[in-house]
């Protein structure tokens, strides 16, 4: 395994070229996760705390009124925002044939299992969502329906359709995970034992690796990925609007679902990069994960953080410009007055600090740059969800059919059960993800093998450069 230097003094492990010996040992390595007992116990305890918090809150306030559940919604939205777009990250980078995606696709796809958790967490929210049609008499300053996508209120709206859409997401993503890991599971059957072996044989025993099977598998992943790509923004739109924006009277904001979707990509990528870094640093995968995924992804993260502030500014200036009271009240509530400090933390985490970290070339080229920025991105997203959804849930139930809010409510601090639910939801997501890592091979073996064929070191004039084959 040669050490690589180019004329441009790259980080020394920028590209890695696993040799045949490395690749032969990869299936065994990828299916044995190593020391995870501590992590499993920690996430399990957090989950239990979360359940305790949920039960206490449910017994105190019930499930019919949404107002006390702001922090639960924020926690759900945070986990949904981070984990739901992750399978898309793998599909998208596969579609554009980026060469550095290979180590991270399986890590991204395993987040699909957390999608099941998202669906389960979503069900209580469906019970507490307020009615669309205005039950009161229509007054002068009142709308006949609250703000929502379901403008003609068709049959089943919103509960049936939202639940169906929400259910379809983990269905599709788990299928993507299954299809993508079938060749790897089939390659690893001889290296695993016990229940896992039986599972692998059940799921992937039919796999022969014939040309037709490969073509069908890749076509299926492409088709499912496309469907997921169409469904996910729709669900993100529904959740951000019906459970967030529409509960604050007067908040008519067409860019908010786009901000929500954008933050989904940003946080997913951040989470994937953090897990990838953990594998490279402490998982012993440095022969398979170079610095180049971090280098390329950090440019995307930098761009996304700038896009975040761009979208936020577009929203802010449109609302601020006319000095109209309705819009000023919304701005005061969510940005300037009540939730001011949370907004500052949000902006620091989603924009300023990642920007400040990733704008430096050497930091982007190092393998720790993007994960470090990613940590701040995740923190910023948590603050965003708290500000938006706790703010929405506490804006005053009696005002949601009004044209605009007239009183700016104060911010709401979490109590102990809220905190339990928050860490519980995150813990549960982590637990399921860990279980996924233990079940499925953690590296996308077939893609890494493919990459090893396509990536070589070549000499041009006086320097060594990466040579990328382009078979299509």
Partner 1 sequence: MVVKIEHKWGMVVDLDKCTGCQGCVVACQAENNLPINTKDLFMQKRAFEWIRIERYWEGDFPNVKARYLPVMCQHCGNAPCEPVCPVYATYHNDQGLNVQVYNRCVGTRYCINNCTYQVRFFNFWEPTWPERLQNQLNPDVTVRTRGITEKCTFCVQRIRRAEITVERRERTKLNDKTMAARNFMPACVQACPTNALMFGDQNNKEDKIHGYFEELHGHDGHSDSRGYRILEEIGTDPSVIYLKKVDQFKMEHSESHG
Partner 2 sequence: MQEGRILPPEQINKDLLNSIMSTPKWYWPAVGICSFIVLIAATVVAYMINKGLGITGLNRPVMWGFFITNFVFWIGISHAGVMLSAILRLAKAEWRRPASRAAEVLTIFSLMTAMTMPIIHTGRPWRSLYWFFPYDFARGIFPNIRSPLVWDPSAILTYLTSSVLFVFIALIPDFAILRDNTTGLKKIIYTKLAMGWQGNARQWKLQIVAGILLSALILPVFVSVHSIVSWDFGMAVSVKAWHSTVFAPYFVVGAVHSGVSAVIFVLILLRQAYGWHDYIRREHVEALCRLLIVVSTGWFYYFVMEIIFGIYGREADEVAIRTLQFTIYPWNYIMIIFIVTTYFLPIFLWSRKVWRRNLLIVSIACISVNIGMWLERYILFIPGQINKQVFTFTWANYTPSLFEGIIVLGTFALVTLLLLLFSKVMPLIPLYDIKEGDILKTEVQIGRRTVPATFRED
| Site residues for partner 2 per CB under 8 A | 6, 8, 10, 143-149, 151, 233, 237, 252-258, 299, 306, 310-311, 314-315, 317-319, 321-322, 324, 403, 453-454, 456, 458, 460, 465-472
Q: Please state the φ and ψ torsions of residue 407, each to the nearest 5 degrees.
A: -115, 135
Kindly state whether residue 325 participates in binding partner 1, applying the rule CB under 8 A.
yes
Of partner 2, partner 1, none, which one sits near residue 356, judging by CB under 5 to 8 A according to partner kind? none
Query: 54 vs 315, which CB is nearer to partner 2?
Result: 315
d(CA 48, CA 27): 34
d(CA 397, CA 389): 13
Query: 114 vs 448, which CB is nearer to partner 2?
Result: 448
Query: 189 vs 347, which CB is nearer to partner 2?
Result: 347
Q: For the segment 361-420, give every residue that binds partner 1 (CB under 8 A).
A: 403-404
Binding range to partner 1, per CB under 8 A, among 252-260, 261-269, 320-328, 420-428: 320-328
Of partner 2, partner 1, none, which one sits near residue 472, judging by CB under 5 to 8 A according to partner kind? partner 2
Q: Indicate which single residue of 37, 321, 413, 461 sits in contact with partner 1 (rule: CB under 8 A).
A: 321
User: Minimum CB separation from partner 1 for residue 399, in Å?
Assistant: 14
Kindly state whether residue 324 participates in binding partner 1, applying the rule CB under 8 A.
yes
Of partner 2, partner 1, none, which one sits near residue 211, judging by CB under 5 to 8 A according to partner kind? none
Query: 258 vs 425, which CB is nearer to partner 2?
Result: 258
Evaluate the CA torsion angle 147, 150, 151, 154 in order and state its sign.
negative
Kindly state whether residue 464 participates in binding partner 1, applying the rule CB under 8 A.
no
Query: 156 vs 458, which CB is nearer to partner 2?
Result: 458
d(CA 160, CA 422): 27
Query: 307 vs 403, which CB is nearer to partner 1?
Result: 403
Q: Please state the φ and ψ torsions of residue 468, each to the nearest 5 degrees.
A: -110, 125
Contacts 24+ apart (CB under 8 A), 333-339: 333/248, 333/391, 333/395, 333/405, 333/408, 333/409, 334/248, 334/387, 334/388, 334/391, 337/408, 338/391, 338/408, 338/409, 338/410, 338/411, 339/387, 339/391, 339/411
d(CA 431, CA 43): 5
User: Minimum CB separation from partner 1 for residue 407, in Å?
Assistant: 11
Query: 9 vs 141, which CB is nearer to partner 1?
Result: 141
Kindly state whether residue 318 participates in binding partner 1, applying the rule CB under 8 A.
no
Kindly state whether residue 211 participates in binding partner 1, applying the rule CB under 8 A.
no
- Interaxial angle between packed helices 159-188 and 445-454, expressed in degrees from 0 to 180 and rounded to the nearest 10: 70
Of partner 1, partner 2, none, which one sits near residue 462, judging by CB under 5 to 8 A according to partner kind? none
Kindly state whether residue 322 participates in binding partner 1, applying the rule CB under 8 A.
yes
d(CA 446, CA 436): 19
User: Minimum CB separation from partner 2 for residue 324, in Å?
Assistant: 6
Of partner 1, partner 2, none, which one sits near residue 325, judging by CB under 5 to 8 A according to partner kind? partner 1
Residue with the two structure tokens 């990642």: 354
Query: 24 vs 460, which CB is nearer to partner 2?
Result: 460
Kindly state whether residue 323 participates in binding partner 1, applying the rule CB under 8 A.
yes
Kindly state whether residue 35 participates in binding partner 1, applying the rule CB under 8 A.
no
Of partner 2, partner 1, none, which one sits near residue 404, judging by CB under 5 to 8 A according to partner kind? partner 1
3-state secondary structure 14-31: CCCCCCHHHHHHHHHHHC
Task: For 50-115, give the DSSP string.
Answer: HHHHHHHHHHHH-SS--GGGHHHHHHHHHHHHHHTTHHHHHHHHHHTT-GGGGGGHHHHHHHHHHH
Of partner 1, partner 2, none, which one sits near residue 281, judging by CB under 5 to 8 A according to partner kind? none
d(CA 163, CA 411): 30
Give the three-class secondary structure for 319. helix
Query: 20 vs 317, which CB is nearer to partner 1?
Result: 317
DSSP classification of residue 389: I
- Angle (CA) 290-293-297 rounded to 5° is 155
Q: For the segment 131-150, give every residue that binds partner 1 (CB under 8 A).
A: 141
Helix (H) or strand (E) holding 209: none
User: Minimum CB separation from partner 1 for residue 141, in Å?
Assistant: 6
Say how many residues touch partner 1, by CB under 8 A. Answer: 9
d(CA 40, CA 53): 20
Binding range to partner 1, per CB under 8 A, among 89-97, 178-186, 283-291, 322-330: 322-330
Kindly state whether residue 39 participates in binding partner 1, applying the rule CB under 8 A.
no
Contacts with partner 1, residue ranges (CB under 8 A): 141, 321-326, 403-404
């Amino acid at each position: 395994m040669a050490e690589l230097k180019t004329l441009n003094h790259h980080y020394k492990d920028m590209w890695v070229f696993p040799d045949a010996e490395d690749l032969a040992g990869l299936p065994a390595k990828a299916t044995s996760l190593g020391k995870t007992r501590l992590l499993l116990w920690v996430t399990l305890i957090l989950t239990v705390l979360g359940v305790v918090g949920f039960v206490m809150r449910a017994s105190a306030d019930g499930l019919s009124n949404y107002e006390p559940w702001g922090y639960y919604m924020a926690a759900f939205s945070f986990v949904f925002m981070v984990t739901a777009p992750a399978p898309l990250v793998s599909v998208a980078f596969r579609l554009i044939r980026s060469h550095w995606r290979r180590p991270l696709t399986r890590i991204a796809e395993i987040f699909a299992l957390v999608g099941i958790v998202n669906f389960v967490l979503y069900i209580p929210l469906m019970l507490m969502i307020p009615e669309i049609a205005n039950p009161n008499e229509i007054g002068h300053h009142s709308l006949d329906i609250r703000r929502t996508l379901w403008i003609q209120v068709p049959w089943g709206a919103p509960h049936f359709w939202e639940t169906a859409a929400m259910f379809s997401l983990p269905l599709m993503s788990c299928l993507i995970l299954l299809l993508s890991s079938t060749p790897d599971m089939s390659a690893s059957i001889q290296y695993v034992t016990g229940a896992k072996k039986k599972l692998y044989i059940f799921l992937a025993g039919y796999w022969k690796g014939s040309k037709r099977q490969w073509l069908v598998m890749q076509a299926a992943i492409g088709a499912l990925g496309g469907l997921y790509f169409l469904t996910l923004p729709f669900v993100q739109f529904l959740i951000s609007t019906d459970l967030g924006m529409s509960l604050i009277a007067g908040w008519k904001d067409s860019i908010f679902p786009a901000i929500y979707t954008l933050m989904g990509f940003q946080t997913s990528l951040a989470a994937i990069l953090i897990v990838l870094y953990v594998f490279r640093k402490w998982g012993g995968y440095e022969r398979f994960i170079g610095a180049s995924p971090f280098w390329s992804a950090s440019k995307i993260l930098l761009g996304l953080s700038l896009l975040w502030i761009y979208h936020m500014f577009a929203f802010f200036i449109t609302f601020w410009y006319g000095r109209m009271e309705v819009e000023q009240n919304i701005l005061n509530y969510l940005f300037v007055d009540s939730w001011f400090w949370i907004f500052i933390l949000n902006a620091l985490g989603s924009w300023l600090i990642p920007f400040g970290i990733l704008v430096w070339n050497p930091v982007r080229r190092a393998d720790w740059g993007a994960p470090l920025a990613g940590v701040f991105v995740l923190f910023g997203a948590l603050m965003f969800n708290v500000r938006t959804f706790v703010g929405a849930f506490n804006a005053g139930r009696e005002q949601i059919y009004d044209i605009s809010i007239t009183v700016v409510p104060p911010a709401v601090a979490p109590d102990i059960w809220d905190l339990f639910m928050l860490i519980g939801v995150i813990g549960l997501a982590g637990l399921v993800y860990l279980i996924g890592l233990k079940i499925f091979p953690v590296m996308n073996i077939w893609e890494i093998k493919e990459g090893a064929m396509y990536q070589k070191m070549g000499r041009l004039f006086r320097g060594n450069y990466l040579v990328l084959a382009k078979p299509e």
